[in-house]
Every structure is written in structure tokens, then in C-alpha cells.
């Protein structure tokens, strides 16, 4: 072994310099290259303590880099989304109210109106007039003429005339019209019927119903009620019937609707009453 080492040192005079100046890994490779140690021996016996520390530091630095990149690229966004989700779920009603989302959209109002119209027609089965009766045919024709003259799309021209002690008229957001026979007999002119229908149409067009409904509900109450109504919970059908049929309009809202109705009647000649019924037949319901 001494002879081999002396031969190597004489052949490679830089061995001592390499052993003292290079890293432990280079020294280990150098010794293996010139067969100063067996490659079959376990590697940990070949490395000095300095080499082990160097490898451990390098491994730790690689782990730290991976963890930092993982935190920046994946964990932080996940934590941020989780916090936002929890806050949104906790304060959803307040956000709805602050963003004015407690108001029903046009699509939601039409859905509510469609369901309410079905409930109303079912509840008025005993008092509802047949479609063949002259009262129903007259109101139906007047209403269809108004919608055609105004070129309104997206509203149904469904009319229900029913018997009631009070003079009542309701126009739901989907266009369904409910008129009591008492209201019809109280009118003195066919143009009054046109004016009343136009007034309710303007109240609907100006979105006063949705505005008034939003003022009655706070912090997402409407959202909860709408969810229960849509899920067919008992009692919420009556609640929304009251919302759509017993909403009180302010004096300024009614005045604005009346002004618009009068302006519409004056500007559109197609609203002049011209029906196929004879004057004597029509006057038995509404005087001409």
C-alpha cells in the first residue's frame, strides 16, 4: 500500500494539494479514481463529516425552495379562496342588501308571477267567469289590443275575470291580468277600462312593484323567502300572492303612471275602441 501510494505521489505530485483544497466529494471521487479505497464499501464510510454536512445543507436548501414555490403557487391561493368563501357565506345577506341584490330580477319576478297566477286561478275556480262569457271576451280583446298597439313582447295576455264584492284589478309581472266584475260594472266608459289597464301596465313597466317589494325586505329576507317559495314550502305561496296583489304604491308613483297612461292614449290612435260587438251588447257590460 505504501509502495502504491509513493508511486502515485511520484506520478501525481498534485495529490496532496487536491486532498487539502477540494471538497469532500471531489476527494472521494479522486480516491476512487486511483483505487485508494474500494467502491464496494458503504458510501457513508468514505465521506468525512464535512461532506455529510454539505450534502445535508444542499438537500435542505432544495426542500426550502420547493416549499416556498409551493406556498407561492398553490397554498396561498387556496387559503385566500377559502377565506373569501367563508366570509361570503357568513355575510351573504348583508352583501345582497348592500349590493341591492335583495331586489328580484326580471326573470325571478316573472317566475314568481307565473306561479302566483296559477295559484290565483286555482283559488278563484268557484268565482271565475267562463271564457265564453261576454265580460271575459271584452276584457281579453281590450287587453290584447293594448299589447299589440304598444308592441309589447314577453308578456302574456292571459285574462281572468272573477266575481268579487270589491272593484279589483291586478297585473302581474308576467302580464297575467285579473279583473273583478265589480270593477267592470263601475266603469262608465270603455276608455276608462283602457286607462286603468294602461295605468297598471305603466306601474309594471316603471318597475315600481319590484322597488316597493325590496323596501319591505332587509338583509336578504327576500332571498330566503324566494328560496322557500321556489322550494314550495307551505305558506310562502300566500305570502307572495300578498306581495303581488296588495302592494301599495305611493302617490307620486300612481301620478307618474297616470301621466304616462294619458300620454299613451293621446299619442297612439290604435287604442281607440273599435270592437266587433254591437253597441247594445257591449253597453250591457260597459257603456260606449
pLDDT of residue 156: 84
Task: Identify the top-confidence range among 53-57, 71-75, 244-248, 257-261.
Answer: 257-261
Q: Bridge partners of 178?
A: 160, 170
The side-by-side arrangement of strands in the sheet containing 177-180 is 159-162, 177-180, 169-171
Return the pLDDT at 117: 93
Q: Is the pLDDT of residue 44 over 50?
A: no
Q: Residue ranges of the domains in the chain?
A: 2-47, 106-282
286 or 161: which leads in pLDDT: 161
* Angle of the 190-205 helix axis to the 251-267 helix axis, nearest 10: 120
| Confidence tier at 225 by pLDDT (50, 70, 90) | confident
* pTM listed for this prediction: 0.61
How much is the pLDDT for 199? 93
pLDDT in tens, 174-218: 999 999 999 988 887 788 899 999 999 999 999 888 888 877 766
**What are the cell numbers at 10?**
511520484
CB atoms < 10 A from the CB of 179, how many?
26
Using DSSP, state whether 174 is helix, strand or coil.
Answer: coil
Q: Give helix 208-216 / helix 236-245 axis angle, nearest 10°.
A: 130
Rounded CA separation 183/161 (Å): 10
pLDDT at 143: 92
Spell out the alpha helix ranges (H) of 12-155.
Answer: 15-21, 24-33, 49-70, 76-90, 92-98, 106-123, 134-150
Amino acid at each position: 500500500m505504501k509502495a502504491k501510494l509513493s508511486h502515485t505521489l511520484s506520478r501525481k505530485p498534485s495529490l496532496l494539494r487536491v486532498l487539502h483544497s477540494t471538497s469532500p466529494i471531489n476527494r472521494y471521487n479522486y480516491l476512487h479514481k486511483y483505487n485508494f479505497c474500494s467502491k464496494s464499501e458503504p458510501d457513508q464510510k468514505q465521506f468525512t463529516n464535512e461532506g455529510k454536512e454539505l450534502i445535508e445543507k444542499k438537500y435542505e436548501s432544495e426542500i426550502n425552495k420547493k416549499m416556498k414555490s409551493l406556498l407561492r403557487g398553490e397554498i396561498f391561493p387556496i387559503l385566500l379562496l377559502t377565506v373569501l368563501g367563508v366570509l361570503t357565506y357568513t355575510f351573504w345577506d348583508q352583501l345582497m342588501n348592500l349590493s341591492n341584490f335583495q331586489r328580484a330580477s326580471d326573470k325571478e319576478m316573472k317566475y314568481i308571477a307565473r306561479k302566483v297566477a296559477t295559484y290565483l286561478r286555482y283559488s278563484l275556480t268557484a268565482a271565475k267567469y267562463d271564457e265564453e262569457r261576454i265580460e271575459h271576451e271584452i276584457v281579453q280583446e281590450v287587453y290584447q289590443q293594448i299589447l299589440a298597439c304598444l308592441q309589447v313582447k314577453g308578456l302574456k295576455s292571459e285574462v281572468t275575470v272573477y266575481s268579487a264584492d270589491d272593484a279589483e284589478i291586478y297585473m302581474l309581472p308576467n302580464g297575467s291580468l285579473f279583473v273583478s266584475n265589480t270593477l267592470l260594472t263601475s266603469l262608465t266608459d270603455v276608455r276608462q277600462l283602457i286607462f286603468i289597464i294602461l295605468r297598471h301596465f305603466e306601474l309594471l313597466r316603471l318597475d315600481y312593484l319590484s322597488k316597493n317589494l325590496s323596501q319591505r325586505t332587509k338583509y336578504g329576507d327576500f332571498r330566503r323567502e324566494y328560496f322557500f317559495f321556489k322550494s314550495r314550502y307551505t305558506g310562502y305561496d300566500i305570502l307572495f300572492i300578498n306581495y303581488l296583489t296588495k302592494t301599495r304604491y305611493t302617490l307620486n308613483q300612481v301620478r307618474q303612471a297616470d301621466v304616462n297612461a294619458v300620454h299613451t292614449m293621446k299619442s297612439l290612435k290604435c287604442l281607440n275602441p273599435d270592437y266587433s260587438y254591437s253597441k247594445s251588447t257591449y253597453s250591457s257590460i260597459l257603456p260606449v
